[in-house]
Structure 1
Amino acid sequence: MNTKNKIYMTHFDYHRLKTMVLDYKKRNITNNNLKDLLGEMERAQKVDSHSIPPNYVTMNSVIELKNLEELEFQEFRLVFPEDANTEENKISVLAPIGTAVLGYKTGDVIHWKVPGGENQFQITKIKYQPEANGDFHL
């Protein structure tokens, strides 16, 4: 996990994610990335949805990511677990890469543990951020 970069999270995303985490705990649902997500949530600087810069990854953002180990690009939408669908390129915030990108900005290089070891990723583009487009309910 890369803890050097400053990360930002909207108050809206923080509260929805916190509710999700509490619900998982109440229902005894385990997920290996829950602890990592909580760590990222707590260290993030929380900001109003209207003031988050448009180059930061928020929930429901569509981003382009470059795997620096393999020099390949992938595009996906960061979603809540119940909306995840790999065929539609919707990746859960509880997937290792989903947790890794939340709160980071375009250009950031992220070192993150994935099932096969540790990879380096760079956020190359944010193609859609709900807040930048006035979609404050997503």
Structure 2
Amino acid sequence: MTASSKQQPTLYLTELDVTRLERIASRAGAAPLAEMLDSILERAAIVPADAIPKDVVTMNSSLTCALEGEAAPRQWTLVYPDTADFDAGRLSVLSPVGQALLGARAGHSVSYRLPDGREQKVTVLELSFQPEANGQFTL
């Protein structure tokens, strides 16, 4: 199995998402966020909101995920850092798992690195809400 050699999925971002993320990353003292954003943008396709496939995790998407090694699935909504609250299920797009999930497709697994360097795998079981699929282009 060559899961770790798989190329990262192409991210679909709208111009609005890019603008919001750049604004967050440009704040004073946000150099690490700027580096994370650069990493995201390197694999991003900037497209009109209505061109994003309906099974792709985008900003403000709600999803059910299975983390490798955990019995119970997790319910997360992928959000901007300012509204992130891990305990409430609002996952920052600039967290390691948030970066990995952005652009993932329902039914697929992606890997990311934990702060201690170990690799963790997460599988998107279901995409229960995607703003673009519901005509909500300005969340």
Which of the five TM-score ranges fits, normalised by the shorter chain? 0.7 to 0.9
1:8 — aligned with what?
Answer: 12
Q: Unpaired runs of 5+ in structure 2?
A: none
Partners of 1:30 and 1:71 in 2: how far apart?
36
Asked if 1 retains the 8 angstrom alpha-carbon contact of 2:112 and 2:120, the reply is: yes
RMSD, matched Cα = 2.1
Alpha carbons of structure 1 residues 88 and 103: separation in structure 2 relative to 1, 3 Å: same
Distance 1:12 1:44 in 2: 13
Q: Residue 26 of structure 2 aligns to a residue in which SS? A: helix
Once the 2 structures are TM-superposed, how far is the Cα of residue 84 of structure 1 from its aligned partner? 1.1
AA aligned opposite 2:103: G
SS of residue matched to 1:106: coil
Structure 2 distance, partners of 1:59, 1:123, is: 15
State how far apart, in whole Å, the 2-side matches of 1:14 and 1:50 are.
16
What CA distance in whole angstroms lies between the structure 1 residues aligned with 2:106 and 2:34? 24
Structure having greater relative contact order (Cα 8 Å, sep ≥ 6): 1
| Identity level (%) | 31
Give the CA deviation at 1:41: 1.7
What does residue 106 of structure 1 align with?
106
Q: Say whether 1:82 aligns with 2:82.
A: yes
> Partner letter of residue 135 of structure 1?
Q
How far apart in 1 are the matches of 2:59 and 2:70?
A: 26
Tell me the TM-score normalised to structure 2 length.
0.83
**Structure 1 portions without partners, runs of 5+:** none
Displacement, 1:5? 2.8
Q: CA deviation at 1:34?
A: 4.7
1:125 maps to what in 2?
A: 126
Distance 2:129 2:9 in 1: 22
Letter in 1 for 2:18: Y
- Offset of residue 89 of structure 1: 1.0
